[in-house]
Amino acid sequence: MEIKQLSEILKLNYANAYNGEKVVQIHLFGVKYGKIIRENNYSSKDIISESGLNDSYIAELNKGIKLRDEVIFESDEIELNALGKTLKDNYENAKTGETVASIFLFGIKHGKLIKMKNYSINEIIKISEIHESYFAELNKGIKLSEYLSIK
Protein backbone atom coordinates (compact mmCIF):
# COMPACT_ATOMS: atom_id res chain seq x y z
CA MET A 1 0.00 0.00 0.00
CA GLU A 2 1.39 3.39 -1.01
CA ILE A 3 1.45 6.59 1.06
CA LYS A 4 -1.20 8.09 -1.21
CA GLN A 5 -3.63 5.23 -0.46
CA LEU A 6 -2.93 5.39 3.27
CA SER A 7 -3.42 9.16 3.26
CA GLU A 8 -6.77 8.82 1.48
CA ILE A 9 -7.97 6.32 4.09
CA LEU A 10 -6.84 8.58 6.92
CA LYS A 11 -8.47 11.61 5.31
CA LEU A 12 -11.80 9.74 4.96
CA ASN A 13 -11.66 8.36 8.51
CA TYR A 14 -10.98 11.82 9.86
CA ALA A 15 -13.68 13.49 7.75
CA ASN A 16 -16.31 10.90 8.72
CA ALA A 17 -15.51 10.91 12.44
CA TYR A 18 -18.03 12.31 14.91
CA ASN A 19 -17.12 15.54 16.68
CA GLY A 20 -14.78 14.73 19.52
CA GLU A 21 -13.64 11.49 17.83
CA LYS A 22 -11.33 12.88 15.14
CA VAL A 23 -8.10 12.33 17.10
CA VAL A 24 -9.30 8.84 18.10
CA GLN A 25 -9.66 8.03 14.38
CA ILE A 26 -6.04 9.07 13.83
CA HIS A 27 -4.93 6.78 16.69
CA LEU A 28 -7.01 3.89 15.29
CA PHE A 29 -5.55 4.47 11.83
CA GLY A 30 -2.04 4.26 13.34
CA VAL A 31 -2.91 1.02 15.10
CA LYS A 32 -4.51 -0.51 12.04
CA TYR A 33 -1.88 0.50 9.47
CA GLY A 34 1.16 0.85 11.73
CA LYS A 35 2.72 -2.38 10.53
CA ILE A 36 2.48 -1.32 6.88
CA ILE A 37 3.84 2.13 7.73
CA ARG A 38 6.80 0.64 9.60
CA GLU A 39 7.58 -2.09 7.07
CA ASN A 40 7.73 0.47 4.27
CA ASN A 41 9.57 3.08 6.35
CA TYR A 42 6.84 5.61 5.60
CA SER A 43 7.01 8.90 7.42
CA SER A 44 4.08 9.95 9.61
CA LYS A 45 4.78 13.49 8.46
CA ASP A 46 4.40 12.48 4.80
CA ILE A 47 1.13 10.63 5.49
CA ILE A 48 -0.34 13.52 7.45
CA SER A 49 0.84 16.03 4.87
CA GLU A 50 -0.57 14.01 1.94
CA SER A 51 -3.90 13.63 3.74
CA GLY A 52 -4.21 17.40 4.12
CA LEU A 53 -4.43 17.25 7.91
CA ASN A 54 -2.67 19.70 10.20
CA ASP A 55 0.95 18.82 11.07
CA SER A 56 -0.03 18.83 14.75
CA TYR A 57 -1.55 15.38 14.11
CA ILE A 58 1.84 13.79 13.37
CA ALA A 59 2.32 13.09 17.09
CA GLU A 60 -1.16 11.53 17.29
CA LEU A 61 -0.44 9.23 14.36
CA ASN A 62 2.85 8.22 15.97
CA LYS A 63 0.99 7.33 19.18
CA GLY A 64 -1.28 4.99 17.22
CA ILE A 65 1.66 3.39 15.41
CA LYS A 66 3.41 2.75 18.75
CA LEU A 67 0.24 1.17 20.15
CA ARG A 68 0.20 -1.29 17.21
CA ASP A 69 2.56 -3.68 18.96
CA GLU A 70 0.51 -3.72 22.14
CA VAL A 71 -3.10 -4.05 20.93
CA ILE A 72 -5.28 -5.73 18.34
CA PHE A 73 -8.73 -4.90 17.08
CA GLU A 74 -11.26 -7.28 18.62
CA SER A 75 -12.99 -7.61 15.26
CA ASP A 76 -9.66 -8.57 13.65
CA GLU A 77 -9.09 -11.27 16.25
CA ILE A 78 -12.58 -12.66 15.67
CA GLU A 79 -12.10 -12.55 11.91
CA LEU A 80 -8.65 -14.16 12.13
CA ASN A 81 -10.03 -16.98 14.27
CA ALA A 82 -12.88 -17.48 11.80
CA LEU A 83 -10.40 -17.71 8.92
CA GLY A 84 -8.34 -20.29 10.81
CA LYS A 85 -11.41 -22.38 11.57
CA THR A 86 -12.60 -22.17 7.97
CA LEU A 87 -9.20 -23.30 6.72
CA LYS A 88 -9.31 -26.21 9.16
CA ASP A 89 -12.78 -27.19 7.90
CA ASN A 90 -11.63 -26.99 4.27
CA TYR A 91 -8.61 -29.13 5.08
CA GLU A 92 -10.53 -31.75 7.05
CA ASN A 93 -13.39 -31.96 4.55
CA ALA A 94 -11.27 -32.07 1.41
CA LYS A 95 -11.80 -35.07 -0.82
CA THR A 96 -9.00 -37.61 -0.89
CA GLY A 97 -6.13 -36.24 -2.97
CA GLU A 98 -7.57 -32.70 -3.01
CA THR A 99 -6.13 -31.32 0.22
CA VAL A 100 -3.71 -28.94 -1.48
CA ALA A 101 -6.40 -27.81 -3.91
CA SER A 102 -8.70 -26.98 -0.98
CA ILE A 103 -5.93 -24.88 0.59
CA PHE A 104 -5.34 -23.09 -2.72
CA LEU A 105 -9.08 -22.38 -3.02
CA PHE A 106 -9.19 -21.04 0.53
CA GLY A 107 -6.30 -18.70 -0.35
CA ILE A 108 -8.02 -17.54 -3.52
CA LYS A 109 -11.34 -16.97 -1.77
CA HIS A 110 -9.96 -15.15 1.27
CA GLY A 111 -6.68 -13.77 -0.12
CA LYS A 112 -7.86 -10.22 -0.73
CA LEU A 113 -9.14 -9.95 2.84
CA ILE A 114 -5.96 -11.50 4.26
CA LYS A 115 -3.81 -9.06 2.30
CA MET A 116 -5.99 -6.02 2.98
CA LYS A 117 -6.03 -6.70 6.73
CA ASN A 118 -2.37 -7.73 6.68
CA TYR A 119 -3.17 -10.95 8.53
CA SER A 120 -0.32 -13.33 9.24
CA ILE A 121 -0.44 -16.53 7.19
CA ASN A 122 1.47 -18.25 9.98
CA GLU A 123 -1.20 -17.18 12.48
CA ILE A 124 -4.02 -18.48 10.27
CA ILE A 125 -2.23 -21.81 9.90
CA LYS A 126 -1.58 -21.96 13.66
CA ILE A 127 -5.27 -21.35 14.40
CA SER A 128 -6.32 -23.93 11.80
CA GLU A 129 -4.03 -26.55 13.37
CA ILE A 130 -2.93 -27.78 9.94
CA HIS A 131 0.74 -28.56 9.37
CA GLU A 132 2.97 -25.52 8.85
CA SER A 133 4.32 -27.08 5.65
CA TYR A 134 1.10 -25.85 3.98
CA PHE A 135 2.29 -22.24 4.35
CA ALA A 136 3.66 -22.17 0.79
CA GLU A 137 0.45 -23.59 -0.68
CA LEU A 138 -1.73 -21.10 1.18
CA ASN A 139 0.58 -18.27 0.17
CA LYS A 140 0.27 -19.31 -3.49
CA GLY A 141 -3.52 -19.25 -3.24
CA ILE A 142 -3.41 -15.81 -1.66
CA LYS A 143 -1.20 -14.54 -4.47
CA LEU A 144 -3.58 -16.02 -7.04
CA SER A 145 -6.46 -14.12 -5.41
CA GLU A 146 -5.20 -10.99 -7.15
CA TYR A 147 -6.12 -12.57 -10.48
CA LEU A 148 -8.85 -15.10 -9.72
CA SER A 149 -12.08 -15.41 -7.80
CA ILE A 150 -14.25 -18.39 -6.85
CA LYS A 151 -17.38 -19.07 -8.93
Task: Say yes or no to pLDDT of 72 above 70.
Answer: no
Looking at residue 76, its pLDDT comes to 76
DSSP-derived 3-state class of residue 19 = coil
Amino acid (1-letter code) at residue 106: F
Task: Say yes or no to pLDDT of 10 above 90.
Answer: yes
Residue 4: CB partners within 8 Å, gap ≥ 6?
A: 50
Looking at residue 117, its pLDDT comes to 79
In tens, the pLDDT along 24-55 reads 999 999 988 888 898 899 999 999 999 999 99
Looking at residue 32, its pLDDT comes to 86
Supply the pTM of this predicted model: 0.56
Q: What's the rounded mean pLDDT across residues 51-70? A: 90
As a whole-number percent, the residues of the chain with pLDDT over 70 amount to 98
Cα 109 from Cα 90, distance rounded (Å): 12
Task: Say yes or no to pLDDT of 62 above 90.
Answer: yes
Looking at residue 60, its pLDDT comes to 94
Looking at residue 59, its pLDDT comes to 95
Looking at residue 73, its pLDDT comes to 67
Of 51-65, 66-80, 84-98, 100-114, where does mean pLDDT reach its minimum?
66-80
* Count of CB atoms situated within 10 Å of the CB of 54: 9
Task: Say yes or no to pLDDT of 116 above 70.
Answer: yes
